[in-house]
A and B are shown apart, each in its own frame.
Chain A
Amino acid sequence: MIVTINKVGITGMGTVSSIGNDVSTFCNSLRGGKSGIKQTPIIKEPKISVDLAAKIEDFSFSDSIDRFQNVSEEKYDHAKRLGRRAPFVIQTSIISALEAWFSARLHDNKPLPERIGLIVAGQNSTQNYQYDLISKFRKNPEYLSPRYALEFLETNQIGVLSELFGIEGEGFAVGGASATGNVGIIKGYQLVHSGLVDVCIVTGVVADLSPMDIQGFINIGAMGGKKYIDQPEKSCRPFDTQHEGFIYGQASASVILESEISATKRGIPFLAEVKGYALNLDSNSSANPNVNGEAKAMLSALNQAGLSASDVDYINTHGSSSPLGDKTEAEAISKVFKDHRSDLWLNSTKGLTGHCLYSAGIVETIATVEQMRQGFLHPNKNLEIPICKDLQFCGTAAVDYQVDVAMSNSFGFGGINTSIVLKRR
């Protein structure tokens, strides 16, 4: 059981995604069932066999950062200097983290630097950056930018964001394959709950996959997109009988986790409370999911929250559109929620955003919090014939619905199972 004297909640959120470059636009896209999945021209050789993705399009760092100028000139100038020539994955992290920082009003009133922590949820996020530099390196190793030594490391995100926000508490990067975002939230929760920090920024980084990474996912059978190659919006179909694998998505997403004591002192409300979480392994080096492992994560998260299955109104599923993954999660939900399984609502944000890999858990936590706050559930975009009849999936249009307790699942290769429980405030 979590000791309730140090409650932890979310006090700020920010995102840059294929369906909105701020939380408000992202939320409107969720309600409208807008998909970010499109055909993306393949310009690099050799060409890979799937060209569907939900990419962040037309992103301009200088345009994106301009909206923060009025909030804090000093922070604006600093961010501009740090991000001006930084790689895309750093620039998008700066923007999502700034939005979260300002929405939590940390620019007005923040704890001491050593009481603020930073977790970067991301692994292998510079793959495409490295892939693009290979030809230059082959030409002459001396031509390689010395900044490469900083920028190929995941910890570059830690350096940039900690400098920007003046963070001197604990900071590190975490990886958990497709569950990386949830792993980041869980580790951030632990830092705040244990009292090591009062506030922790958790930033999920864009998975900037190289063509080789994408082809790897295709070759292992995890990525879809071939069946609906000419109808990109239909390609991601979580829990539909025609699902065939995940569709790659890009997003950076950040949340501010804060203790109730700190938030009260600063006069900032919780957007939602993190009631419980679980992270458990299957002891499995492969890619296949496991019903027992997923069920265990959901049950453990509920136990830690001090809630029972019947208290849950809604699950933001992992729902990646993978035939085996969807089937396994559906079975695990039935196992945990038993008779309540047909009363709680399910949807998958990946049907709209694609699978944002490392940031997916944070994107979906933001989606969950916004749905709770705004009183709606977003559509399951392409769910025409569900793979099972005994679960209650949202339809193809948004519905008004008040959720008080929600669960958000993320599962990753290597048998990594995570679940978090959120409560509306």
Chain B
Amino acid sequence: MDKNENDIFDLIATHVADISLDIAHGPIIRSSMLSPLGMDSIGRAELIARMLEELSLTASAREFYKANNLGELAALFANKLKEQ
């Protein structure tokens, strides 16, 4: 079944919880930004690599760096998924 933007956000949230260096991070919502969740630049890159693999996407990780929060990141992945 194709994944919609909400499914993709849920996947992102799961990976953020796993990757985050801050074990006791706060709630993960669409407006969340990565730094307050304990995600450094390596964590961000890891999140994107995991999502590319999970969604079987062929794309450069750099295309996803422009997202300002997790909701925007989910939208970028959803658009890329539609394109492919």
Contacts and interface: CB of A to CB of B under 8 A. Distances in A.
Interface residues of A, number: 14
A425 interface: no
Contacts of A136: 53
Nearest to B54: A143
Nearest to A143: B53
Interface of B: 18-19, 21-23, 42, 45-46, 49-50, 52-53, 58-61
A260 to B, nearest CB: 39
B53 A81 contact: no
A85 B53 contact: no
Given A136-B53, A140-B52, 8 more contacts: A80-B23, A81-B21, A81-B22, A84-B23, A85-B19, A143-B52, A145-B49, A146-B42
7 contacts: A81-B21, A85-B18, A140-B53, A142-B58, A145-B46, A145-B50, A146-B49
A147 B44 CA distance: 11
A84 B24 CA distance: 13
Contacts of A80: 23
Nearest to B41: A146
Nearest to A150: B42
Nearest to A80: B23
B61 A142 contact: yes
Given A80-B23, A81-B23, A84-B23, A140 B42 contact: no
B57 to A, nearest CB: 8
Contacts of B42: 146-147, 150
Contacts of A81: 21-23
A117 B52 CA distance: 41
B18 A142 contact: no
A196 interface: no
B49 A143 contact: yes
B23 A142 contact: no
A348 to B, nearest CB: 43
A136 B50 CA distance: 11
Interface in A62-112: 77, 80-81, 84-85
Interface string A141-157: 01111110010000000
A145 B45 CA distance: 8
Contacts of B22: 81
A146 B40 CA distance: 12
Given A147-B42, A150-B42, A142 B21 contact: no
Given A142-B58, A142-B59, A142-B61, A147 B46 contact: yes
A80 to B, nearest CB: 7
Contacts of B46: 145-147
A140 B61 CA distance: 12
A81 B53 CA distance: 25
A226 to B, nearest CB: 40
Contacts of A147: 42, 46
Given A81-B23, A84-B23, A146 B45 contact: yes
Contacts of B59: 142
B23 A144 contact: no
B11 to A, nearest CB: 15
A218 B42 CA distance: 39
A77 B24 CA distance: 11
A81 B24 CA distance: 10
Contacts of B21: 81
A272 B53 CA distance: 52
Nearest to B38: A81
A108 to B, nearest CB: 26
A406 to B, nearest CB: 43
B70 to A, nearest CB: 18
A136 B58 CA distance: 13
Contacts of B19: 85
A85 B45 CA distance: 15
A146 B59 CA distance: 15
Nearest to B23: A81
Contacts of B45: 146
Nearest to A82: B21
Contacts of A145: 46, 49-50
A84 B58 CA distance: 29
Interface in A163-201: none
A140 B59 CA distance: 10
A32 B23 CA distance: 41
B49 A144 contact: yes
